[in-house]
Amino acid sequence: MSGRLYNPMSLDNCSFLVTGAASGIGRATAIMLSRLGAKLICADIDKAGLEETLAVLEGTGHLSQVFDLRNIADIDKWVIDACASFGRLHGLVHAAGVSCIAPVKILSIEKYREVFLINTESALALAKVFPRPKVYAGSNGSIVFISSAMALVGSSAAVGYSLSKAAIHGMTRSMAIEYAKKNIRVNAVAPGFVKTSMFDKSKARWDEEQAARVEALHPLGFGQPEDVAHAIAFLLADTGRWITGTILVVDGGYTAQ
């Protein structure tokens, strides 16, 4: 009998692309996956943040890629070129995203289209290029999108953000059916309020009473980026090998009420 403990969440010999890796959930996910043995392409528009992330990853062979996901037409070439030097991928995590807090009456076309572009259209473009032979390692593929509890419940001034994340849910389910024949699973994680820089920007608009009221909506309190990273790792690893087309809600009980 082998003396080595079995770990169904081991990601040894697996490679992943993580967008939004310079901060927040993306950084926490990159760190978590590296601890589980994965090799990573870490992508973000924030070069300094990426360097900070790479400095704390475990293992070797990780790659940093500065890229603006608003350049949808260039995503195919960028991913293929990155894999040419890095190696093919077993999965990807689209954690990059932007917030949008604006009542409908002042929500501009330019604003909600930019949010949709980064949060949703880039997710589709990344998933579209993933099955390509030059990108996909060819077995046990897994794609994880980051959605939001705001795609499941209503909230004032969240229309622009909610529409971008709700679209992720429909895309996840339909893509899961289409990609099953390629042995690629497609899932999404929908967090509640997580203590990230994006959260800090929202909280800055609240007074103490508002902050307490929002936190009270989470029976387990506000989340940490690591809480979401755990769920993402679960879906990428063999622990999620019979899960596809699902939205895993990780929200401290926010949507249970």
User: In this predicted model, what pLDDT tens digit does every residue of 54-69 receive, in sequence order?
Assistant: 999 999 999 999 999 9
Render pLDDT for 89-148 as a digit per residue (tens, 0 to 9).
999 999 999 887 788 888 888 888 999 999 999 999 999 999 999 999 998 999 999 999
Q: Name the active-site residue from 6, 112, 136, 161.
A: 161
The overall pTM is greater than 0.75: yes
- Specify whether 161 is catalytic: yes
* CATH entry, 15-251, from 1.10.3720.10, 3.40.50.720, 3.30.70.20, 2.70.98.20: 3.40.50.720
Give CA–CA dist 138/129, Å, rounded: 13
Render pLDDT for 12-62 as a digit per residue (tens, 0 to 9).
999 999 999 999 999 999 999 999 999 999 999 999 999 999 999 999 999
Render pLDDT for 207-222 as a digit per residue (tens, 0 to 9).
788 878 878 989 999 9
Per domain, the residue ranges of the chain are: 15-251
